[in-house]
Structure 1
Amino acid sequence: MMQIITNAMLWVDIFFLLSGFLCAYSVLREVKQTSVRKYAGNILWKIIHRYIRLTPSLMAMIGFSIILEVMSSGPHWYQYIDLSQQSCHKKWWINILYVTNIPSVYTSLTEICLVHTWYLSADMQMFIVSPIFIILLTCNDIRKQYLGIAINIVVILASWTIIAINLVNNHAIGINVVIIYSTYFWFLGYSYHNFGSVLYGTIHRTVWSICWSYILYACASGRGGIINRILSWSALVPLSRLSFQIYLFHFVLVLAIKAALRQPLYFNSLTMVMLYFSITVLSLFVSFLAYVMFEIPIAKIENIIKKK
């Protein structure tokens, strides 16, 4: 169980995979229904649409984190306020420009307003450049299709090379059912070989994403079995609509609850389970309010503008 928790960062790759899958699917479907030229002419509008859809909720979350400064107190509350004043008060514009994952725009991590928003920046940047990697795959010319495949392969190999170089320089090890538990012996404190750690750190995220890609393909092609039935369960639809707001607001709530503690928590399984479910319920409640107050109205307004 601890391996799943200690490798939690790896699950972020699934969100990148889903985002990329939906982006590629929508591009391929639109190009098939219209043409490459017509899709290319609408790229700027699609970027604007994504910015309008994401940014109001992001700004609401930043405002919520600032309002929280006067809503509680505690021995560590000043740390929350100091961090917020150094980041969200001064560097909020980094978030709405979606550049929080670019080190050159800040001098230290304390200047990043709510560090979990790095994912949004990376997702937005990849969405902007995604047509370069997708449009060639839609062409009827087989040479252009091969060129598109080659570009994607080169980008993957380049990312492997960069990661490998960084791991060799820093002597770092990667973290990841087969991939997650392959670090089990390192987790127990056994020594590791540099080659094994570099190989794992270089390819484990790609292999992880490929395995989840097959699950997506299996579900879409009717081979998903019980996994497809679970993922297609209608009760998950409301949660899927709240997922973006949960991602935004849960981190703020975790920071605020931690800062408001007036005594140490006794670390055991029961305490952690109770804390987990309490934060989950609170996150769902706040996310529902944000969804109703910001996400739905913005979507309605945008639809009205598009019709006119």
Structure 2
Amino acid sequence: SYYVYLLFCIFSLYYYVVFIFSLFIYQFILFSLIVLFNTELSLYDAFGKIGSDVEGGNVNRPGSLRECLSVEGLEFRGQYCQVFLKQDSVEYFVGVCVPDSCTESEVQTLVVYDLHNAAQMFTQKKKNSSQGLLATESSGSSYSSLNGIRILSLLWIISGHTMQLSAWSNLDNDKRWKEMVERNPLYVFAFSGPVYLAVDSFLLLGGLLSARSLLSSIQRSDNTLSFSLVAHFLFKIQPLHLFIVCLTIGLFSIVQRGVFWFIAEDEVYSCKKYWWSNLLLINNLFTITDICAPWTWYLSIDFQFYATTPFLIFLYRINKSMLVIVSVILLMISSVTGALITGLLHLPVHQPTTLYFLYYYNKPYTRYGPYLLGILAGIYMTTKKEALIKQQWQAVIGWLCSLSVMALLVGLAYVLREVPPYPSLTHAVYQGMHRSLWALALVWIILACEEGYGGFVDKILSLGLWAPLSNISFACYLIHPIIIILYNGKQETTMHYTDFNFFYLFLGHLLLTVSVGYVLTVLIEKPYLFLPKR
């Protein structure tokens, strides 16, 4: 027992010594880091920085001589230097604090390098961000008609929001407006009829481009799919998306209110309460009245649908028949769900109501059809070996069917405008299928234009004018409701609807939207796409 006790004491002493030594090493490292951090902080703090009243002549930046000389590192002390600069006709000096081991030539090299690097970073960022935005030609790998479809859909949305956000709050002839506009097919590009089909056009394009992008990435990376594509998608949409959330809160909080400012106040309240749903891209799962910046629900549903694209492409690569079966099932689920919700809740086919927004409008289980058809179209058009249309008569039949379907869908929206008090099978079938049929008709237009059977439609959709607008369309979509709400909220009297007044108002909103959209694209959206990849 004596030897056991002795052995225990020896081991205890050993571990105690090791513990004390480890504690000493830990404290030494911690002290070194603190000294190093404090030293670097003190060196930076002693640098000269821009002061106030520069326009009044306060241009010199002396920094702190005393603080610089008091810096003591592990192997150096602070050294105070002055750099004299000239910018146009203004001469000034900047105090810099560097280690005393630096020579005069090294300080000069450091200053010249920093100035050159800063200027290069600024000009390169500006060049990269704005490069190609105003080009009137699409890249060789893109489909020529997509830009036209995207911009015409965007114009449709801006026109609809111009009418919608004004008519709901501050018209002095609201009853006459409803009689003139809401029920008249001639105003389909205003807030009349199935105006929401423009969003389904966006969903179709999103699915087509996501499938093409993922397939191209797989081909470039030896049949492997990288998760960096998801990160790239988030980097593309989230910086500008979250900026819009902050802008909504900040701008609507500080601008002096008008008589019709209650819509802006509602936006501020919703953003302060539900901003996190925008961050997580799940705000479309909430009621439209509880969403921060309600028009951003599209970004959430687009991301949720984008997440399904790799699964469908995986099915395509392992078994094409399985892809067809799963796609048919998903399409039927989406259509049947929309039809059941419409029938059970007596929903209208397009007029916004509380139940329509609560259970149908922005929900993924009712809007997946167009995106799914876009994915399938993207897979087919990216991998097809030969043209689908081989004869002129095939193109004629395809165009007749496509245009007839689109005209029928628009016309039926007016025929089915009135909602019966009982469950309507006609309303339910229309609601369940019309979005997917619209997307299918657009798929034919894209395919026909791609294979040389687009005629004058292809010439219109492929105009060079659409390319630069398409490059800034994302920013335009996000900023245009803020411009409209700001304008409406600042009014001191009600507005009077006439065709000319609102067409003029639409052009004004459009001009501001394009101008601000270009600035936001250059300064916020594009720079994040040029961040160095690690």
Rounded Cα–Cα distance in structure 2 between residues aligned with 1:255 and 1:206: 31
Match for residue 267 of structure 2 among 81, 84, 99: 84
2:44 matched residue in structure 1: none
Rounded Cα–Cα distance in structure 2 between residues aligned with 1:28 and 1:190: 44
Rounded Cα–Cα distance in structure 2 between residues aligned with 1:161 and 1:296: 40
1:27 matched residue in structure 2: 214
1:111 matched residue in structure 2: 290
| Aligned AA (1:3) | V
User: Deviation per CA, 1:180-236, whole angstroms, max 9, x where unpaired?
Assistant: 11223334x597992221121111111111000111111111211222222221221
Rounded Cα–Cα distance in structure 1 between residues aligned with 2:251 and 2:458: 40
- Report whether the alignment pairs 1:60 with 2:243: yes
Shift of 1:295: 1.4
User: Deviation per CA, 1:90-131, whole angstroms, max 9, x where unpaired?
Assistant: 32121121001113xxxx544311111110000001111211
Rounded Cα–Cα distance in structure 2 between residues aligned with 1:194 and 1:60: 43
- Report whether the alignment pairs 1:267 with 2:446: no
1:133 matched residue in structure 2: 312
- Report whether the alignment pairs 1:235 with 2:465: yes
1:215 matched residue in structure 2: 445
2:41 matched residue in structure 1: none
Q: Matches of residues 241-252 of structure 1 in structure 2 within 5 Å?
A: 241-252=471-482
1:3 matched residue in structure 2: 188
Structure 2 gaps, min length 5: 1-185, 351-405
> Which is worse superposed, 155-164 or 129-138?
129-138
Shift of 1:35: 4.2
- Report whether the alignment pairs 1:178 with 2:361: no
User: Deviation per CA, 1:37-81, whole angstroms, max 9, x where unpaired?
Assistant: x12xx0x2111111111111112212222232212321122x245
Structure 1 gaps, min length 5: none
- Report whether the alignment pairs 1:96 with 2:279: yes
TM-score w.r.t. length of structure 1: 0.88
- Report whether the alignment pairs 1:47 with 2:226: no
Rounded Cα–Cα distance in structure 2 between residues aligned with 1:73 and 1:198: 43
Cα RMSD for the two superposed structures: 2.1
1:177 partner SS:
helix
2:493 partner SS:
coil
Rounded Cα–Cα distance in structure 2 between residues aligned with 1:292 and 1:195: 49
Rounded Cα–Cα distance in structure 2 between residues aligned with 1:129 and 1:270: 45
Rounded Cα–Cα distance in structure 1 between residues aligned with 2:263 and 2:515: 22
C-alpha contact (below 8 Å) 2:281/2:299 kept by paired residues: yes
1:122 partner SS:
helix
Rounded Cα–Cα distance in structure 2 between residues aligned with 1:60 and 1:235: 28
User: Deviation per CA, 1:239-280, whole angstroms, max 9, x where unpaired?
Assistant: 001100011000111111111111111111011111111111
1:222 partner SS:
coil
2:107 matched residue in structure 1: none
Match for residue 74 of structure 1 among 240, 258, 261: 258
C-alpha contact (below 8 Å) 1:167/1:173 kept by paired residues: yes
Shift of 1:158: 0.7
Q: Give aligned pairs, total.
A: 290
Rounded Cα–Cα distance in structure 1 between residues aligned with 2:340 and 2:499: 39
- Larger RCO, structures 1/2 (Cα 8 Å, 6+ apart): 1
| Aligned AA (1:26) | S
2:21 matched residue in structure 1: none
Structure 2 CA distance for partners of 1:3 and 1:235, relative to 1, 3 Å: closer
Rounded Cα–Cα distance in structure 2 between residues aligned with 1:100 and 1:191: 31
Rounded Cα–Cα distance in structure 2 between residues aligned with 1:115 and 1:292: 24
> Which is worse superposed, 190-199 or 233-242?
190-199
Rounded Cα–Cα distance in structure 1 between residues aligned with 2:215 and 2:453: 22
C-alpha contact (below 8 Å) 1:179/1:208 kept by paired residues: yes
Rounded Cα–Cα distance in structure 1 between residues aligned with 2:279 and 2:495: 35
| Percent identical residues | 24
Structure 2 CA distance for partners of 1:246 and 1:270, relative to 1, 3 Å: same
Match for residue 157 of structure 1 among 318, 332, 337: 332
> Which is worse superposed, 261-270 or 59-68?
59-68
2:167 matched residue in structure 1: none
Q: When you count helix as a share of all residues, which structure comes out higher?
A: 1
| Aligned AA (1:10) | L
Rounded Cα–Cα distance in structure 2 between residues aligned with 1:130 and 1:23: 7
